[in-house]
Amino acid sequence: MTDGMEQKKISSISAVFPAFNDGGTIASMVAAASIALHQVTEDFEIIVVNDGSLDYTSTMLAEISTRYPELRVITHPSNQGYGAALRTGFSAATKDWVFYTDGDSQYNPLELVNLVGALHSGADAVNGYKLSRNDSLIRILIGRAYHYFVKFLFHLHIRDVDCDFRLIPRHILEEIDLKSVSGAICLELVKKIEDAGYVFAEIPVNHYSRKYGVSQFFVPSRILRTLSQLAGLYWMLVIKKRHLKNKKA
Protein backbone atom coordinates (compact mmCIF):
# COMPACT_ATOMS: atom_id res chain seq x y z
CA MET A 1 0.00 0.00 0.00
CA THR A 2 1.09 3.56 -0.51
CA ASP A 3 2.79 5.12 2.50
CA GLY A 4 2.68 8.84 3.12
CA MET A 5 1.01 9.45 -0.25
CA GLU A 6 -2.54 10.24 -1.25
CA GLN A 7 -4.35 7.04 -2.15
CA LYS A 8 -5.27 6.72 -5.81
CA LYS A 9 -9.03 6.41 -6.42
CA ILE A 10 -11.21 5.21 -9.28
CA SER A 11 -14.84 5.75 -10.19
CA SER A 12 -16.69 2.68 -8.87
CA ILE A 13 -15.97 -0.98 -8.11
CA SER A 14 -17.89 -4.22 -7.79
CA ALA A 15 -15.98 -6.70 -5.60
CA VAL A 16 -16.93 -10.27 -6.51
CA PHE A 17 -16.29 -13.33 -4.35
CA PRO A 18 -17.21 -16.86 -5.51
CA ALA A 19 -17.77 -18.97 -2.40
CA PHE A 20 -18.16 -22.71 -1.91
CA ASN A 21 -18.00 -24.05 1.66
CA ASP A 22 -16.20 -20.89 2.83
CA GLY A 23 -18.20 -20.36 6.01
CA GLY A 24 -15.04 -19.96 8.09
CA THR A 25 -13.53 -17.23 5.92
CA ILE A 26 -16.18 -15.34 3.97
CA ALA A 27 -17.05 -12.88 6.76
CA SER A 28 -13.43 -11.72 7.11
CA MET A 29 -13.14 -11.42 3.32
CA VAL A 30 -16.20 -9.16 3.14
CA ALA A 31 -14.96 -7.08 6.08
CA ALA A 32 -11.50 -6.61 4.55
CA ALA A 33 -12.99 -5.80 1.13
CA SER A 34 -15.21 -3.13 2.67
CA ILE A 35 -12.19 -1.49 4.32
CA ALA A 36 -10.17 -1.49 1.09
CA LEU A 37 -13.05 -0.31 -1.08
CA HIS A 38 -13.68 2.68 1.18
CA GLN A 39 -10.07 3.72 0.52
CA VAL A 40 -10.23 3.64 -3.28
CA THR A 41 -13.76 4.71 -4.22
CA GLU A 42 -16.94 6.23 -2.87
CA ASP A 43 -19.15 4.01 -5.03
CA PHE A 44 -18.90 0.26 -4.56
CA GLU A 45 -20.75 -3.00 -3.98
CA ILE A 46 -19.70 -6.41 -2.70
CA ILE A 47 -21.16 -9.47 -4.42
CA VAL A 48 -20.79 -12.96 -2.95
CA VAL A 49 -21.94 -15.87 -5.09
CA ASN A 50 -22.72 -18.78 -2.77
CA ASP A 51 -22.21 -21.68 -5.15
CA GLY A 52 -24.36 -24.31 -3.45
CA SER A 53 -22.30 -24.43 -0.24
CA LEU A 54 -23.00 -27.35 2.10
CA ASP A 55 -21.48 -25.83 5.24
CA TYR A 56 -22.65 -22.72 7.13
CA THR A 57 -21.66 -20.22 4.40
CA SER A 58 -25.30 -19.22 3.84
CA THR A 59 -25.88 -18.68 7.56
CA MET A 60 -22.76 -16.53 7.83
CA LEU A 61 -23.73 -14.46 4.80
CA ALA A 62 -27.23 -13.87 6.22
CA GLU A 63 -25.66 -12.66 9.47
CA ILE A 64 -23.15 -10.24 7.94
CA SER A 65 -25.69 -8.86 5.44
CA THR A 66 -27.20 -6.90 8.32
CA ARG A 67 -23.83 -5.24 8.96
CA TYR A 68 -22.79 -4.48 5.39
CA PRO A 69 -25.55 -2.82 3.36
CA GLU A 70 -23.23 -2.85 0.33
CA LEU A 71 -23.26 -6.67 0.34
CA ARG A 72 -25.35 -8.57 -2.21
CA VAL A 73 -25.63 -12.34 -1.92
CA ILE A 74 -26.51 -14.51 -4.90
CA THR A 75 -27.14 -18.19 -4.22
CA HIS A 76 -26.87 -21.11 -6.60
CA PRO A 77 -29.24 -23.84 -5.35
CA SER A 78 -26.60 -26.45 -6.20
CA ASN A 79 -22.89 -26.33 -6.88
CA GLN A 80 -22.30 -25.25 -10.50
CA GLY A 81 -18.53 -24.77 -10.48
CA TYR A 82 -16.00 -22.00 -9.95
CA GLY A 83 -16.36 -20.58 -13.45
CA ALA A 84 -20.14 -20.55 -13.21
CA ALA A 85 -19.96 -18.68 -9.89
CA LEU A 86 -17.60 -16.08 -11.33
CA ARG A 87 -19.76 -15.57 -14.40
CA THR A 88 -22.81 -15.06 -12.18
CA GLY A 89 -20.89 -12.46 -10.16
CA PHE A 90 -19.59 -10.69 -13.25
CA SER A 91 -23.08 -10.55 -14.77
CA ALA A 92 -24.50 -9.10 -11.55
CA ALA A 93 -21.81 -6.40 -11.27
CA THR A 94 -23.06 -2.86 -11.92
CA LYS A 95 -19.96 -0.72 -11.31
CA ASP A 96 -17.30 0.49 -13.76
CA TRP A 97 -14.57 -1.80 -12.43
CA VAL A 98 -14.73 -5.40 -11.22
CA PHE A 99 -12.34 -6.77 -8.62
CA TYR A 100 -12.46 -10.46 -7.83
CA THR A 101 -10.71 -12.97 -5.65
CA ASP A 102 -11.65 -16.23 -3.95
CA GLY A 103 -13.68 -16.51 -0.76
CA ASP A 104 -11.22 -18.87 0.94
CA SER A 105 -8.90 -16.17 2.35
CA GLN A 106 -5.77 -17.24 0.46
CA TYR A 107 -5.54 -13.68 -0.82
CA ASN A 108 -6.00 -10.51 1.23
CA PRO A 109 -8.65 -8.09 -0.10
CA LEU A 110 -6.80 -5.22 1.57
CA GLU A 111 -4.26 -5.51 -1.26
CA LEU A 112 -6.95 -4.27 -3.64
CA VAL A 113 -5.51 -0.84 -2.80
CA ASN A 114 -2.30 -1.91 -4.55
CA LEU A 115 -4.18 -3.04 -7.65
CA VAL A 116 -5.76 0.38 -7.98
CA GLY A 117 -2.41 2.05 -7.38
CA ALA A 118 -0.88 0.04 -10.24
CA LEU A 119 -3.23 1.46 -12.86
CA HIS A 120 -1.41 3.69 -15.32
CA SER A 121 -1.99 5.09 -18.78
CA GLY A 122 -0.65 2.02 -20.57
CA ALA A 123 -2.64 -0.57 -18.62
CA ASP A 124 -6.23 -1.64 -19.17
CA ALA A 125 -6.48 -4.06 -16.21
CA VAL A 126 -4.36 -5.23 -13.28
CA ASN A 127 -3.32 -8.77 -12.41
CA GLY A 128 -1.58 -9.95 -9.26
CA TYR A 129 1.21 -12.50 -9.23
CA LYS A 130 2.02 -14.57 -6.16
CA LEU A 131 5.16 -13.60 -4.26
CA SER A 132 5.27 -17.22 -3.10
CA ARG A 133 2.66 -19.95 -3.01
CA ASN A 134 1.71 -21.09 0.49
CA ASP A 135 0.33 -24.52 -0.31
CA SER A 136 1.47 -28.10 0.04
CA LEU A 137 4.51 -29.11 -2.02
CA ILE A 138 2.39 -31.20 -4.38
CA ARG A 139 0.05 -28.25 -5.08
CA ILE A 140 3.03 -25.96 -5.64
CA LEU A 141 4.57 -28.40 -8.13
CA ILE A 142 1.30 -29.05 -9.95
CA GLY A 143 0.50 -25.33 -10.02
CA ARG A 144 3.90 -24.49 -11.47
CA ALA A 145 3.63 -27.23 -14.11
CA TYR A 146 0.11 -26.08 -15.02
CA HIS A 147 1.25 -22.46 -15.33
CA TYR A 148 4.12 -23.20 -17.71
CA PHE A 149 2.05 -25.70 -19.68
CA VAL A 150 -0.86 -23.34 -20.40
CA LYS A 151 1.42 -20.34 -20.88
CA PHE A 152 3.26 -22.22 -23.64
CA LEU A 153 0.16 -23.85 -25.12
CA PHE A 154 -1.93 -20.67 -25.28
CA HIS A 155 0.92 -18.18 -25.92
CA LEU A 156 0.13 -16.11 -22.83
CA HIS A 157 2.16 -13.07 -21.80
CA ILE A 158 0.90 -12.72 -18.25
CA ARG A 159 3.23 -13.69 -15.41
CA ASP A 160 0.77 -15.70 -13.27
CA VAL A 161 -2.39 -16.98 -14.97
CA ASP A 162 -3.37 -18.86 -11.81
CA CYS A 163 -3.46 -15.82 -9.50
CA ASP A 164 -7.12 -15.04 -8.82
CA PHE A 165 -6.60 -11.45 -7.73
CA ARG A 166 -7.62 -9.12 -10.55
CA LEU A 167 -9.09 -5.70 -11.30
CA ILE A 168 -10.79 -5.46 -14.69
CA PRO A 169 -13.05 -2.85 -16.31
CA ARG A 170 -16.60 -4.18 -16.56
CA HIS A 171 -16.82 -3.24 -20.24
CA ILE A 172 -14.01 -5.73 -20.99
CA LEU A 173 -15.83 -8.53 -19.15
CA GLU A 174 -18.97 -7.75 -21.15
CA GLU A 175 -16.98 -7.81 -24.38
CA ILE A 176 -15.13 -11.14 -24.03
CA ASP A 177 -18.14 -13.45 -23.40
CA LEU A 178 -16.83 -16.11 -21.00
CA LYS A 179 -18.07 -19.71 -21.38
CA SER A 180 -16.23 -21.86 -18.81
CA VAL A 181 -17.95 -23.24 -15.71
CA SER A 182 -14.83 -24.79 -14.12
CA GLY A 183 -11.50 -23.39 -12.93
CA ALA A 184 -10.51 -23.16 -16.60
CA ILE A 185 -12.26 -19.79 -16.59
CA CYS A 186 -9.06 -18.10 -15.35
CA LEU A 187 -7.20 -19.23 -18.46
CA GLU A 188 -10.11 -18.29 -20.72
CA LEU A 189 -10.37 -14.87 -19.07
CA VAL A 190 -6.69 -14.00 -19.49
CA LYS A 191 -6.43 -15.41 -23.03
CA LYS A 192 -9.50 -13.55 -24.29
CA ILE A 193 -8.40 -10.28 -22.69
CA GLU A 194 -4.92 -10.53 -24.21
CA ASP A 195 -6.28 -11.59 -27.61
CA ALA A 196 -8.59 -8.56 -27.58
CA GLY A 197 -5.50 -6.37 -27.39
CA TYR A 198 -5.82 -5.25 -23.78
CA VAL A 199 -2.77 -4.87 -21.55
CA PHE A 200 -2.33 -6.01 -17.96
CA ALA A 201 -0.30 -4.19 -15.35
CA GLU A 202 1.11 -6.77 -12.92
CA ILE A 203 1.93 -6.43 -9.25
CA PRO A 204 3.11 -8.86 -6.54
CA VAL A 205 0.54 -10.04 -4.00
CA ASN A 206 0.73 -12.26 -0.95
CA HIS A 207 -0.67 -15.78 -0.97
CA TYR A 208 -1.66 -17.45 2.30
CA SER A 209 -2.16 -21.04 3.38
CA ARG A 210 -5.73 -22.27 3.60
CA LYS A 211 -7.13 -21.96 7.15
CA TYR A 212 -10.58 -23.41 6.58
CA GLY A 213 -12.05 -26.08 4.32
CA VAL A 214 -10.32 -28.03 1.58
CA SER A 215 -9.41 -27.22 -1.99
CA GLN A 216 -11.96 -28.37 -4.56
CA PHE A 217 -9.35 -28.66 -7.30
CA PHE A 218 -8.25 -32.23 -6.53
CA VAL A 219 -11.76 -33.70 -6.69
CA PRO A 220 -11.44 -36.20 -9.60
CA SER A 221 -14.64 -35.07 -11.32
CA ARG A 222 -13.46 -31.46 -11.25
CA ILE A 223 -10.03 -32.33 -12.62
CA LEU A 224 -11.61 -34.25 -15.50
CA ARG A 225 -14.04 -31.41 -16.21
CA THR A 226 -11.21 -28.84 -16.15
CA LEU A 227 -9.03 -30.95 -18.49
CA SER A 228 -11.96 -31.36 -20.85
CA GLN A 229 -12.56 -27.62 -20.86
CA LEU A 230 -8.85 -26.92 -21.42
CA ALA A 231 -9.02 -29.08 -24.54
CA GLY A 232 -12.13 -27.22 -25.66
CA LEU A 233 -10.50 -23.86 -25.03
CA TYR A 234 -7.40 -24.87 -27.00
CA TRP A 235 -9.60 -25.82 -29.93
CA MET A 236 -11.65 -22.62 -29.74
CA LEU A 237 -8.97 -20.07 -28.86
CA VAL A 238 -5.92 -21.43 -30.68
CA ILE A 239 -6.66 -24.04 -33.38
CA LYS A 240 -9.95 -22.61 -34.68
CA LYS A 241 -8.65 -19.04 -34.54
CA ARG A 242 -5.50 -20.04 -36.44
CA HIS A 243 -7.62 -21.84 -39.05
CA LEU A 244 -9.83 -18.79 -39.59
CA LYS A 245 -6.77 -16.58 -39.88
CA ASN A 246 -5.23 -18.86 -42.51
CA LYS A 247 -8.50 -18.88 -44.51
CA LYS A 248 -8.50 -15.09 -44.63
CA ALA A 249 -4.83 -14.90 -45.67
> pLDDT of 49-106, one tens digit each?
999 999 999 999 999 999 999 999 999 999 999 999 999 999 999 999 999 999 999 9
Residue type, 23: G
What's the pLDDT score for residue 172? 98
DSSP string, 189-248: HHHHHHHTT--EEEEEE------SS--STT-HHHHHHHHHHHHHHHIIIIIHHHHHHHHH
Alpha helices of the chain — where are they, by DSSP H?
26-40, 57-65, 82-92, 112-117, 137-154, 170-176, 185-195, 220-234, 240-248
Angle of helix 26-40 relative to helix 57-65, nearest 10 degrees, comes to 40
Q: DSSP class of residue 8?
A: P
177: left (phi over 0), alpha (psi -120 to 50) or beta: left
Nearest to 188 by CA among 220, 223, 226: 226
Q: Do 82 and 49 form a contact (C-beta atoms < 8 A)?
A: no
Sign of the C-alpha dihedral computed for residues 203, 21, 185 and 183 taken in this order: positive
Q: Is the pTM of this model over 0.85?
A: yes
Residue 54: what pLDDT? 95
Q: Look at residue 146 in the predicted model and tell me its pLDDT.
A: 75
* Per-domain boundaries in the chain: 13-248
- C-beta separation of 210 from 136 below 8 A: no
Mean pLDDT by groups of 10 residues along the chain of 249 residues: 62 97 96 98 98 96 96 97 96 98 94 94 92 71 76 88 95 95 91 96 89 57 72 82 67
Helix (H, G, I), strand (E, B) or coil at 46: strand
CATH number assigned to the domain with residue range 13-248, chosen from the 4 options 3.40.50.1970, 3.40.50.720, 3.20.20.300, 3.90.550.10: 3.90.550.10
